Amino acid sequence: MRFANELHGDTFVRRTISAYPHNARVPRKPPDPSPPPPYWLYLLECEGGVYYAGIALDVEQRFFQHVFGLGAKFTRARPPQRVLAARQYPDKGAALRAEIALKALPRARKLAFFDS
């Protein structure tokens, strides 16, 4: 980063000089042609029989993060016992929307969510 000192009256003012003029086009990286990685919505059964739902790129890795206390605060207090179900989604947004829909369901219908 470069700076320029200017004198304004009796005061020196230091301002940054951009590498690109304000009207120049900044070079951009071309878009990545590869599709985004798929996300998974998963449902865990935790200690005490309670359910926990979340999303991850790798369900097995995320499960072990929860087991070793590196996951959500909920699963630190109630360690997960097993993965009940998982479903793949094309992107993070779709997985997040599905997670919200799953969490809105009553407990009795949560497992059935993965069958549809």
Q: H helices within 2-113, ranges in order?
A: 59-67, 73-77, 92-104, 107-113
Question: By three-state DSSP, how is residue 83 classified?
Answer: strand
Q: What whole-number distance in Å separates Cα of residue 63 and Cα of residue 109?
A: 22
- Per-residue pLDDT, 34: 87
- Enter the tokens of residue 56: 């991850």
Express as a percent the part of the chain with pLDDT over 70.
79
Residue holding tokens 């993060």? 65
- CATH topology classification for 39-113: GIY-YIG endonuclease (3.40.1440)
Domain map (residue ranges) of the chain: 39-113
Q: What are phi and psi of 45, to 5 degrees?
A: -100, 125
> What integer is the mean pLDDT of 90-111?
97
What pLDDT digit, counting tens, does each position of 31-75 carry?
888 888 999 999 999 999 999 999 999 999 999 999 999 989 999
